[in-house]
């Protein structure tokens, strides 16, 4: 018996992701979150971890985006929608899925840095896995227009570049 890791097209696998999201972030939970009203981009790829039972246990979305860092064009790899169904937590599945997402970005070869956004209580999880806080400002699009994005804090995983400060413009919706 073993777990299975799949990296699938984001749109084609949306229904599977939606099942995980509905369980992890039901409307009554979502409405209380600092990012509950944010409009997010759709993932380009999705990592799914299936438990030995065959159940989908964990999801991580992968985003690719031309962003700017201090006005210079860069290719960012985004990670978002990190979620493990409650019954499958603390078995290392999110660690495996985030690692698979970072490996996917590394293999692409063209991504300058990875970027994710998380609530404060999850920061130690990412910092323990090599992610560093980005202390600058993030700008992103929303239906109301371009604005500073402060709902959740940015963390960077260094690839070719190691941004820590300055201004990152996501040049689109956040993830
Ligand atoms: C945050 C979240 C994704 C973590 O998922 P997970 O699959 O439980 O994560 P992991 O099992 O990889 O790691 C979680 C912790 O369990 C520990 N762990 C892993 N396997 C374990 C095991 N067999 N026994 C005991 N602990 C274990 C890990 O060391 C880790 O602790 P650490 O951060 O102190 O190192 C999950 O709690 C979740 O979905 N939360 C709600 C949604 C959310 O907040 N998502 C994050 C958005 S940024």
Q: Which domains does the chain have, with CATH numbers?
A: 4-169 (3.40.630.30)
Q: Which residue has the higher pLDDT, 1 or 11?
A: 11
Query: Atom 30, ligand 1: which residue's CA is nearest?
Result: 90
Confirm or reject: Cβ of 109 under 6 Å from ligand 1: no
Give tens-digit pLDDT for 106-159. 999 999 999 999 999 999 999 999 999 999 999 999 999 999 999 999 999 999
70 alpha carbon – ligand 1 mean position (Å)? 33
Those residues with Cβ within 8 angstroms of residue 143's Cβ, 6 or more apart along the chain or in another chain: 39
Kindly give the number of the ligand 1 atom that is closest to the alpha carbon of 85.
39
Confidence of residue 19 (pLDDT cuts 50, 70, 90): very high
Both tokens assigned to 101 = 């997402």
State how far the Cα of 140 lies from the Cα of 165, in Å rounded to an integer. 16
Smallest Cα–Cα separation from 157: which of 119, 95, 113, 106?
113
| Average pLDDT value for the chain | 97
Percent of the chain at pLDDT above 90?
99
Query: Atom 10, ligand 1: which residue's CA is nearest?
Result: 92
pTM flag (> 0.75): yes
State how far the Cα of 13 lies from the Cα of 62, in Å rounded to an integer. 12
Mean pLDDT to the nearest integer, 65-75 = 98
State how far the Cα of 7 lies from the Cα of 52, in Å rounded to an integer. 17
Q: By the 8 A CB rule, do 137 and 148 touch?
A: yes
Confirm or reject: Cβ of 92 under 6 Å from ligand 1: yes
Confirm or reject: Cβ of 122 under 6 Å from ligand 1: yes
Task: Provide the Cα torsion 144, 174, 148, 164; round to 10°.
Answer: -170
Confirm or reject: Cβ of 90 under 6 Å from ligand 1: yes
Percent of the chain at pLDDT above 70?
99
Q: What is the pLDDT of residue 25?
A: 98
- Does pLDDT of 1 surpass 80? no
Both tokens assigned to 15 = 């229904």
């Amino acid at each position: 018996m073993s777990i299975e890791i799949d990296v699938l097209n984001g749109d084609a696998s949306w229904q599977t992701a939606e099942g995980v999201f509905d369980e992890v972030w039901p409307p009554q939970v979502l409405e209380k979150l600092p990012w509950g009203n944010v409009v997010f981009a759709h993932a380009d790829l999705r990592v799914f971890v299936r438990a030995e039972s065959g159940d989908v246990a964990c999801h991580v979305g992968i985003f690719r985006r031309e962003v700017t860092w201090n006005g210079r064009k860069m290719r960012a790899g985004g990670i978002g929608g990190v979620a493990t169904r409650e019954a499958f937590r603390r078995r290392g599945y999110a660690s495996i899925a985030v690692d698979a997402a970072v490996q996917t970005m590394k293999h692409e070869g063209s991504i300058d840095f990875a970027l994710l956004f998380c609530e404060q209580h999850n920061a130690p999880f990412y910092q323990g896995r090599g992610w560093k806080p980005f202390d600058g400002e993030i700008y992103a699009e929303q239906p109301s227009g371009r604005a500073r994005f402060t709902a959740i804090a940015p963390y960077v995983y260094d690839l070719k570049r190691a941004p820590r400060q300055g201004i990152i413009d996501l040049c689109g919706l956040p993830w």
